[in-house]
Amino acid sequence: MAAKFTWKFPQKDFLVMRIETVFVSILAVLVFIVSFYQFGSSFLIALLFTLIFLCLYVLFSYVVQRIRTVEEKYNLTEKHLEVVRKKRSKTKKEKVHLKDVVHHKLDRLFLGGYLLAKSGNEHLHKHLLFFNTKEELEKFESFLKKHLRKK
């Protein structure tokens, strides 16, 4: 039986990506600082404006996720990686043979990465990867390293 690893991004309980959380946190701190100094060093007003900003962001994020439904399914086998990307009614399929992979890079902090693979006339094509958990990323990396050696 052939080895296989599959995952779907985002999961059903997904709200925000890690990089998005970091960015929004930085913006929330800036909103707090600006409103703190703008309204005469009032801690409560600054906190209120920061909470309003965060609530609006979460609301808009939720609405955008429901309107622009995006789903990516990854299927990794010993010979290839197949990615099916769905955006509302459009479906795009990519298939990358592991023998064509030249380089890969994974980011453990933000749970993402990419594969560089040869395509056609020796041009390199970048294939983006997204993970829900650090365990998925580590399992993918160990699977990939194990089967890339078999080139």
Q: Which tens digit of pLDDT belongs to each residue from 72-97?
A: 899 988 888 999 998 888 899 999 88
**Token pair of 105 as six digits:** 């890079």
State whether 95 and 136 are in the same domain. Answer: yes
**Does one domain contain both 75 and 56?**
no
**Of the residues 51, 67, 83, which one is the last residue of a structural domain?**
67
- In the prediction, which pLDDT does 55 show? 94
Residues 144 and 77 in one domain: yes
Q: What amino acid is encoded at 111 in this protein?
A: L
**For residue 61, pLDDT beyond 90:** no
Query: What average pLDDT is seen over the chain?
Result: 86
Q: 57-61, 82-86, 147-151: which has the minimum mean pLDDT?
A: 147-151
Clarify whether residues 51 and 76 are in a common domain: no
pTM score over 0.85: no
**Mean pLDDT across 55-78:** 86
Owner of token pair 């929004």:
24
Whether 78 and 132 share a structural domain: yes
CA–centroid distance for 124 within its chain: 21
The reply to whether 36 and 97 lie within a common domain is no
Residues 105 and 141 in one domain: yes
Q: Range of 41's domain?
A: 18-67
The answer to whether residues 85 and 137 belong to one domain is yes
pLDDT of res. 98 = 86
Q: What is the CATH number of the domain that holds 102?
A: 2.30.29.30
Residues 79 and 111 in one domain: yes
Provide the number of structural domains found in the chain.
Answer: 2
Please tell me the least confidently modeled range out of 9-18, 25-34, 47-56: 9-18
Whether 99 and 63 map to the same domain: the answer is: no
Q: Is beta strand 123-130 parallel, antiparallel or unpaired with respect to 90-97? A: unpaired
Is residue 149's pLDDT more than 70? Answer: no
> Which residues have a Cβ under 8 Å from the Cβ of 23 and sit 6 or more positions away?
none
SS3 for the chain is CCCEEEEEECCCCCCCCHHHHHHHHHHHHHHHHHHHHHCCCCHHHHHHHHHHHHHHHHHHHHHHHHHCCEEEEEEEECCEEEEEEEECCEEEEEEEEHHHEEEEEEECCCCEEEEEEEECCCEEEEEEEECCCHHHHHHHHHHHHHHHCCC
Question: Does one domain contain both 79 and 132?
Answer: yes
pLDDT at 1 over 50: no
The torsion angle over the Cα atoms of residues 136, 141, 147 and 151, rounded to 10 degrees, is: 140
Residues 82, 105: one domain? Answer: yes
Core vs surface per residue 117-144: b (16+ CB within 10 A) or e: beeeeeeeeebebbbbeeebbeebeebb
Amino acid at 32: F
